[in-house]
Amino acid sequence: MFRDRSEAGRLLATELTRRLPDDKLHDPIVYALPRGGVPVAIEVARMLRAPLDLLIVRKIGAPGYPEVALGAVVDGDDPQTIINDDVYAATGRDAEALERIRRRELAEIERRRSRYLGDRAPLDPSGRTAIVVDDGLATGATAKAALTAVRRMGASRTVLAVPVAPDDTERELNGYADQVIALEMPTEFWAIGQFYTDFHQLTDDETIGMLRQMWSGDGES
């Protein structure tokens, strides 16, 4: 059990420094997947003395079954969409419904980007190591979209770092990242929250407060 996301981040950062020696890192950028990934990524960025940026990813729920992950979309000049082909086929391949949900989630992405980042310019990962951090993996849909996005933006190496991920999901994500690092990979997995004592839903205000403190110079490099 992790006490909270910050503790998980410190433990993950320690493991990253052990498993990613300097010769495997090239000018790294740490990308947080908000909201839950922000406090984890902050600790990683501080220990690695790397800049922190955000990748805002939204799940695309299946039409009529919003709890089922049809895929995910990630922000950027060229928003990337990852589709779970099996779910898409099982739900009727409704392209019109898919695009409607995708547009709605892109609107929410823009709202969050405006609130979290204001006029702060995104970092350019071209030729750099992109370390994508979240508080855990369930289906892995958001992580796939994020990793695909940073690769298409020119990252020379991609690393996915999470405190916990199901054993089978971790293996699947190896096809999207050059390296996957997870502290815990249980075979019995129901929800990310089962591995945290404090796994409360972060609010926008909490998230913005943490980012402002980091970017104000407290821990930013």
Domain assignments of the chain as residue spans, ordered by start = 5-56+123-215, 58-117
CATH 3.40.930.10 for the 58-117 domain, yes or no: no
Average pLDDT, the chain: 90
| Helical (H) or strand (E) element with 81 | strand 80-83
Structure tokens at 156: 């020379």
Full-prediction pTM beyond 0.75? yes
CATH code reported for the domain at 5-56+123-215: 3.40.50.2020
Q: Length of the chain, please?
A: 221
Spatial distance between the Cα atoms of 219 and 123, rounded to a whole number of angstroms:
17
Instruction: Quick: pLDDT tens for 179-217.
Output: 999 999 998 899 999 999 999 999 999 999 999 999 987
Contact 98, 62 (CB under 8 A): no
Pick from 144, 19, 16, 133: which is nearest to 69 by CA? Answer: 144
Instruction: Quick: pLDDT tens for 72-97.
Output: 888 877 788 888 888 888 888 888 98
Query: What is the model's pLDDT at position 180?
Result: 94
Alpha-carbon distances, residue 206 vs 113, 146, 148, 172, 200 (angstroms):
15, 22, 28, 32, 11
Say which residue, 166 or 68, is predicted with more confidence.
166
